[in-house]
Amino acid sequence: MTVVDDCVRLLGAHRVRSHPLDLRIFAKDAGVRPGHVIAAVFPETTTEVAAIVAAANHHGVPIVPRGAGTGLAGGAVPVDPGLLVVLTRLNRIEDVDLIARTAWVGPGVINLDLSKHLEPFGFHFAPDPSSQQACTIGGNVGTNAGGPHCLADGTTVAHVLAVELVTADADIITVGGDIPDVPGLDLRAVVVGSEGTLGIVTKALVRLTRNPPDVATLLIGFPTVTDAAAMVSGVIGSGIVPAALEMMDKAMVVAVENFVHAGYPIEAEAVLLVEVTGEEASVGSDVGAIVAVAEANHASSIRVATDDDERALLWKGRKSAFGAVAQTAPDYYLHDTVVPRTKLVEVLDQIYSIGDRYGISMLNVFHAGDGNLHPLVAFDAKEPGALEAVLAAATEMVEVSIAAGGSLSGEHGIGVEKRDLMGLVFSPIDLDAQARIRDAFDQRGLMNPDKVLPTGSRCFDASGNALR
C-alpha cells in the first residue's frame, strides 16, 4: 500500500488526483518555482484531514496544505515529493454571531465570499488581499495575510480568534477561543502565519468588522515620488490613521489606466489612493485635513470620489494592478519587503537604481501607510537568463530593505522563496528559537518541510539543550 492507496481508501478515487496533468497543475502556486506532488487530495471534513495526516505519517510522506494556490512564496507546493492537502471543500460559514461579532469559517471559504455573506448584516472580514476574489481564508491564516485595509484594522492575526488545528500527530485541537485572553500560551498567534508548518487549520473563528457608516476615497497625484512619500508621513503625523493609504508609481499608473480607464492621472509621477472611514462628521473632517496635507506636499491633482460607483472604480484600478501588468510582459515577480514608513523614499530610490542596473522593467504599487513595498518586475521567463536576473535583483532589493531596518515579508510569507534569506534578518540564535517553536508542534518534520526556516536553523537536542 502506498500513501496514495490509503488516500483513495479514505476519500474515494474521485477525491484523490494523481494523473500526470493534475500533478503538473498542482506543482505550482502563484510563485515562480514548481515543486513535486505525489497526489492532490480533497478532504471534506476535519476527520478526513486527520486521517490523511495519520496515513502520511505512517508512510513518512511530507504534507503540504493548500487553499486556492494564490500564494507568491512557494508555500503551497512541496519541495521534495509530498502530499498536497487541498482544503477548498471545507468551505462552510457557521455560527455567525452578531453580538459577539464572530463566525466559524472553513479554510476553503473564499475571502471575498465571506465579506459578501456578511454584507446583509452590515459586517465584513477586514483583511482584503488583492487576490481576495480567489484566495481562501485558510491561505489568509497560513500567511497572516494583509491587504490595503490592514493599515487601520491590522492583519489576519488580529481577526482570527481561534483555529481548529489538525496537528502533525493527527490530533484535532482548538487553539485560542471565543473568550477574551484565553488562559495558557497563545498558540493561535504562532499558528497564524506559520504557512502550514505547524499543522493544518480546518476551521477558523474570525472577527467580524462593522461596515463603516461613511467612507471617502481620494486619488491624489504628485509630481515626484518624494512628495507622495512625504504626504504619507504628513497624514500619519496629522493624527489620522486612514483605513488605507496606497501608492502607485508612474509606470503602474499608466498600466492600470490602460486596463481599467478609471481616469487615473497618467501625468503624475506617483499617485496615492487614500481611504478614510467612520461616522459622517469624522470622515468630513478627515477629508479636509488630508486635502490640506496633500496641498502642502505639492499635489498636482486631488480627486474625491463622489459616489460608491466612483469609489469602486478607483479601487478597481488598485486591485487589478497585477492583472494590468500582463500587457507589459507575460511573467511577473512580486516583492513584499517592509521598511519603516519613514524610510520609504530612501529605499525606493535604491530599488529603482537596482532595477536600472539589471535593466529590468519595474512597476511599483504598494501599501505605503505601513511601509510594505511591492516592486513588481515584469519579464519574459522564456528569454534566457531573464529569471536569473530578476532573482538576483530581488535579493539586492531585499538587502537594501533590511539595511534600512526592514524585513523580508510584510504579508506574502517566506515559503521557499525567501527561506534562505532569513539569515539576513535573524541571527543563528533567533533561528534556533524559531526552530524550537516548530519542533514543539512537529517533531518529525513532516508538516510543510523545507519552508520558512533555512536548513541548519536547529541547534538543540531533543531535550532542548544547545548543541553548540
Partner 1 sequence: MTGIPSLPRGLADIGSVNGDGVQRFAPRSVDEIVSVVEALKAARVTALPVGAGSTFEDVPPPDVDVVVSASAYAGLIDYQPDDLTVVVRAGTTLGTLAEALEAKGQTAVLPETSPERTIGGVVSSGASGFRRLRYGPTRDRVLGVTLVTGYGKPVKGGGALVKNVTGYDLPRLCTGSHGTLGFIADICLKLWPMQPASRTIEVADVNEARFAIYKPLAVLETPDAVMVMVEGSEASVSDTERVLDGASRTGLLWPDPPSSAVNVSVRVPASSTTSAISVVRGAGAEHFVAQHGIGRVDAGFASLPPGAVEELRSRTAELRGVAIITGWKTADQMPDRWGVNPGSAGISERLTSLFDPAGVFRIGQLPGGL
Say whether residue 433 binds partner 1 (CB under 8 A).
yes
Residue 427 CB-density burial (10 A; 0-12 exposed, 13-18 middle, 19+ buried) = exposed
* Residue 280 binds partner 1, judged by CB under 8 A: yes
Residue 171, Cβ neighbours under 10 Å: how many?
A: 12
Interaction of residue 46 with partner 1, rule CB under 8 A: no
- Considering only the stretches 85-93, 252-260, 293-301, 452-460, report the one whose residues sit in contact with partner 1 under the rule CB under 8 A: 452-460
Question: What does the alpha-carbon distance between residue 125 and residue 19 come to, in Å, rounded to a whole number?
Answer: 37
- Tell me the C-alpha distance between 295 and 231, whole Å: 9
The count of residues interacting with partner 1 (CB under 8 A) is 93
Residues 323 to 352 in contact with partner 1, rule: CB under 8 A? 338-342
Q: For partner 1, which stretch binds (CB under 8 A), given 61-69, 171-179, 249-257, 381-389?
A: 171-179
Give the footprint of partner 1 on residues 193-212 (CB under 8 A).
193-194, 210, 212
DSSP percent split of the chain into helix, strand, coil, nearest 5: 40, 20, 40
Amino acid letter for position 326: A
CB of 336 to partner 1, least distance (A): 8
Strand pairing of 82-86 and 63-66? parallel
Cell of 255: 498600466
Residue 2 near partner 1 by CB under 8 A: no
Q: Is 285 in the site for partner 1 (CB under 8 A)?
A: yes
Q: Of 167 and 361, which has the nearer Cβ to partner 1? A: 167
CA angle 360, 454, 413 (to 5 degrees): 60
Q: Indicate whether 298 belongs to the interface with partner 1 (CB under 8 A).
A: no
Q: At what angle do helices 46-59 and 3-11 cross, to 10 degrees?
A: 160
Q: Which is nearer to partner 1, 18 or 136 (CB)?
A: 136
Q: Shortest gap between Cβ of 379 and partner 1 (angstroms)?
A: 25
Minimum separation from the CB atom of position 99 to partner 1 (A):
4
x/- map, 238-277, partner 1, by CB under 8 A: -xxx------------------------------------
Closest distance of CB 139 from partner 1, Å: 13
* x/- letters, 355..394, toward partner 1 (CB under 8 A): ------------x--xxx----------------------
Stretch that binds partner 1, among 112-120, 254-262, 301-309, 419-427 (CB under 8 A): 419-427
* Neighbouring C-alpha atoms within 13 Å toward the C-beta of 435: 25
Angle among Cα 376, 378, 382 to the nearest 5 degrees reads 140
Q: By CB under 8 A, tell whether 436 contacts partner 1.
A: yes
Q: Which of 185, 292, 296, 326 binds partner 1 (CB under 8 A)?
A: 185
Sheet holding 16-17, edge to edge: 16-17, 37-41, 82-86, 63-66
SS3 at position 39: strand
